[in-house]
Structure 1
Amino acid sequence: MIDFSVHNTSDQSIRPISRRGLLIGASGLLAGGLLTGCGIVPEVNTPLNLYSVSPKVADVTNPPSLDWQLVVAEPKAGADLATNRIALSRAANRIEYFAEGVWSDAAPALVQSKLIEAFEDVVPQLAVGRDSAGLKPDYILQSELRDFQAAYSGSSGEAVVRITAKLVKMPERKIVKSIAAEARQPSAGGGLPGIVAAFEAALGDVFNQLIAGVLAAPQS
């Protein structure tokens, strides 16, 4: 998808895409095609940066007996977060997106992948996988991504991550544990790279809460 929002390195291009911007961009594409037909190569759009995260999670000491399999389902999310666009909020009930960078995957899939990695890193004795692998688990961790955006107050920003999860015992489909995990991490640097680093730290805090909740769930 071509991003027609205005790029401005001084404010990291935190701007929504307007209808006027789309019309201007479409006109630019048409003009570029005409120029190409005349043998003049148009200017290439600046490519978007792809961002990922590597959340740091705490080691688990003295874990319980883990002779069961866990499947981590992809979190559910609203349309505003179920995208690879990096969301931000500068006013209540309003979501915008950074113009010059995107996540390496849609946010729910990114969170699922990194949470599975976190379980594997700190609880290696737990058999864990994803729901698309056709496994027959003892438990499924179902969740909803409630917040995954940068929140701004003036010029200062912070990453906000909130996940609600339910540990479901199979095959009974009985909920044995509900977990609410939330973290806010101020951006240590300016611009999008600083915000991405804040997302990484906040996601690590949330994963610690989710892992602790799963391990503390009653096993029966």
Structure 2
Amino acid sequence: MIRAPALCLVALTLSGCTAISAIERASEPLDVHELRAPAELPAARGMQDIQLVVEVPAAGGAIATDRILIRTGATQLAYLPEARWSEDAPVMMQTALVEAFLRTDAFRFVGRRPLGASGDVALVSELVDFGARETTEAGGAVVEMTLVARLVREDDARIVASRRFTGASRVPDTSTRALLAGFDQVSDAVLLDVVEWVLRARGISATAS
């Protein structure tokens, strides 16, 4: 008659320890990782006298966060437990795109908002995919990114160009370091493609990156 309540007490105690441990881990700070503009970018041979506005990419709820997305199945999602982004992923991408276009010296103004009531051209985009998933290869993973971009003329909201950009980077294992390196690589490749595409769409010649 004593043993059953005692076992219940042990079970409750262990359960409580697990809960306390989870709470304590939840308060641990995560390493912060920032994605920046690619190191190598094309340099424009001439500057256009227009304002380029880079809007925050739209994104689904699983991506629109500062947590680093890991796809564990066809419909199952998780987040990297040891690191996070410096900002919500779409805002971080906007920051990287603004930096990249500024460094090309192709436009009189590049920013998140126009100088006046409206800009001349806006880069409107959607971050469709931005995460890592395990592969069938032992211990390996692939980091994937898909960005749908549109150049919009602001005076009449006309889409003057659109394109879907995709990139993938295979990494040898699922360690935090390897995954973050994969995110760096795929982000650099996609953002470089976006910059080169915008320059071509605007008829701007540039030196090779």
Same fold (TM over 0.5): yes
Contact 1:77-1:108 within 8 A present in 2 as well: yes
Contact 1:57 1:208 in 2 (8 A): no
d(CA) in 1 for partners of 2:115 and 2:60?
24
CA contact 1:158–1:186 (8 Å) conserved in 2: yes
Distance 1:44 1:107, change over 3 A: closer
Q: Which amino acid aligns with 1:85?
A: R
- Residue 170 of structure 1 and its aligned partner are, at CA, apart by 1.5
* 2:169 corresponds to which of 179, 185, 190: 185
- Cα shift at 1:135: 6.1
Tell me, in whole angstroms, the C-alpha distance in 2 between the residues paired with 1:150 and 1:191: 11
Cα distance in 2 for residues equivalent to 1:160 and 1:71: 26
Q: How far apart are 1:208 and its partner, in Å?
A: 1.4
Structure 2: how far apart are the matches of 1:120 and 1:96?
35
Count residues with an aligned counterpart.
185
Decide which of 29, 45, 48 is 1:47's aligned counterpart: 29
State how far apart, in whole Å, the 2-side matches of 1:135 and 1:178 are. 24
Query: Which AA in structure 1 matches 2:200?
Result: A
Matched, 1:124 2:110: no
Once the two structures are superposed, residues 56-115 of structure 1 have per-residue CA deviations (whole angstroms, 9 ceiling, x without a partner) of: 254325546512110000000001101111001132122211111111111000111011
Cα RMSD (Å) of the superposition? Answer: 2.8
Separation in structure 2 between the aligned mates of residue 131 and residue 145 of structure 1, nearest angstrom: 19
- Structure 1: unaligned runs, 5 residues or longer: 1-22, 33-41
Report sequence identity in percent.
27
What is the SS of the residue equivalent to 1:151?
Answer: strand
Residue 86 of structure 1 pairs with residue 68 of structure 2? yes
Bigger mean CA deviation after superposition, 135-144 or 58-67: 58-67
CA distance in 1: counterparts of 2:162 and 2:73, whole angstroms = 30
How big is the shift at 1:119? 1.1
CA apart distance, 1:212: 1.6
- Asked whether the equivalents of residues 188 and 198 of structure 1 are also in contact (C-alpha less than 8 Å), the reply is no
Within-5 A mapping of 1:120-159 = 120-121=102-103, 123-126=104-107, 127-131=109-113, 136-154=118-136, 155-159=139-143
**Cα distance per residue 1:151-195 (max 9 Å; x no partner):** 211421121111001100021110000021111012256511221
Report the equivalent of 2:194: 210
C-alpha deviations, 1:1-26, integer Å up to 9, x for none?
Answer: xxxxxxxxxxxxxxxxxxxxxx8689
Q: Unpaired runs of 5+ in structure 2? A: 1-14, 204-209
User: TM-score, structure 2 length as denominator?
Assistant: 0.77
Deviations 1:191-214 (A, max 9, x none): 112211111111111111111221
Matched, 1:102 2:94: no
Is the partner of 2:201 in helix, strand or coil? coil
Question: Which amino acid is the alignment partner of residue 72 of structure 2?
Answer: R
Matches within 5 A, 1:157-176: 157-176=141-160
1:167 partner letter:
L
- 1:200 aligned partner: 184
Residue 137 of structure 1 deviates from its aligned partner by 1.0
Does residue 60 in structure 1 map to residue 52 in structure 2?
no
Distance in 1 separating the partners of 2:162 and 2:68: 28
Aligned equivalents of 1:72, 1:90: Cα separation in 2: 32
2:105 is equivalent to residue 113 of structure 1: no
